[in-house]
Amino acid sequence: MRKISRLAMEEIRSDRLVYALIGLYLVLASAMLVPVGHIFADLYVEYLFSLLVLDVVALPALVLIGLSLRSIAANPRHPAAWLRACLDQRRIARILAGFVLLLALAPFMATFTAMKSFIGLDGFTSDASLADIDRWLHFGTDPAILLHGLINYPHTWRIFAFFYGPGWMLWVNGFVFWMAVAASKPNIRRRFFVSYIFAWVVLGNLVAWLAMSAGPAFFAQVTGDTDRFASTLAAVSANTLPNGSGIRDVQLYLWDLYVTRTSGFGMGISAFPSLHVAMVTLCALVALEVDRLLAIAGLLIVLLIEAGSILFGWHYAIDGYFSIVVMAVLWRALRQVPALGLDGRDVTEATIEMAGSSLHASAPGKVV
């Protein structure tokens, strides 16, 4: 146990750049939010609770079930042998250090949400310009109108709603969990978390502040033009989920939080750039370096999220295009900065495969 604790501390120290970036953001953001009283304690409780449910209970349970099945398949006579070989001291230390990092992300995300709502309090100034750029890029037609002409079936809408909501949450948080507790390659892991923090802070706060926009869902409220996206909102309102709720209900909930200046999970309205698209783009970039099938899935999800963001009126198309380009450029640029490499060691997936191979090669009944 003492050795595992020492190894876990080494792993935590290997994450010092990520912790430094999180700490710097918390300090700078708090320096802006605290003096004006824009700190909401309930946000931190909600994000910590969601973290515990998803990253400490749900995802570990799914992973453990999957590994257990893999272990049984590897050696039915000794079903726990492969799993024991995988969970060596270094791997356990990485898992423990990963959970510490996940806990650090809870106040980070709560503070981001407070900042996101804070920067929109002075109003939205860029919606008309972004909508006009969108129309120009798509040959004189708003892209939402184009999509509604192609996708106008309730079951199709529900598919997009799933991927844009719970599907996005599971996919992105699955990657965060994977990178935190079971990073396959150290260099990819470091780039992932630096890019992750960059997306939320620079794109989600700084760039969003420079080009404040509310999105088509709130275009009428911020510009006074009630006609331009009326058909989009009518389509969104007409397509509800099986439980009777719909995307429009969520949009009205967020607008109510904005108008009343009260706190709530996911509070804050900001269209440009799209963090939904930025996050799945980051996941796809990781997948492109890891596995071909995972990469195909990742690229497909990028397309689904970008289309869904337009279809539901959350974003202008340019919001997603910008996020895709910036994240791709950043990902490539970070590969050229060896100074970001840290000394922490990660257990690779090759280690697991070697352990599994050794078990298969063992004599029947012998546990390695």
pTM of the entire structure? 0.86
Q: Considering the chain, what percentage of its residues have pLDDT values greater than 90?
A: 42
- Residue at 366 is within a domain: no
Q: What is the pLDDT of residues 112-130, one digit of tens each?
A: 988 888 888 778 999 999 9
- Residue at 342 is within a domain: yes
- Check residue 352 and give its pLDDT: 37
CA 299 to chain centroid: 15
Q: Which of 71-80, 204-213, 242-251 has the lowest mean pLDDT?
A: 242-251
Q: Considering the chain, what percentage of its residues have pLDDT values greater than 70?
A: 89
- Bigger pLDDT: 155 vs 300: 300
CB count, 10 Å around CB of 16?
Answer: 13
- Check residue 54 and give its pLDDT: 82
- Residue at 368 is within a domain: no
Give the residue from 133, 146, 117 showing the smallest Cα distance to 259.
117
- Bigger pLDDT: 318 vs 11: 318
Q: Is the pLDDT of residue 360 over 50?
A: no
- Residue at 59 is within a domain: yes
- Residue at 164 is within a domain: yes
Q: What is the pLDDT of residues 125-144, one digit of tens each?
A: 999 999 999 999 999 989 98
Question: Number of structural domains, the chain?
Answer: 1
Q: What is the pLDDT of residues 148-158, one digit of tens each?
A: 877 777 778 88
- Residue at 32 is within a domain: yes
- Residue at 367 is within a domain: no
CA dihedral 206, 180, 288, 338 (to 10 degrees): 70
- Residue at 344 is within a domain: yes
Domain range spanning residue 60?
Answer: 2-361
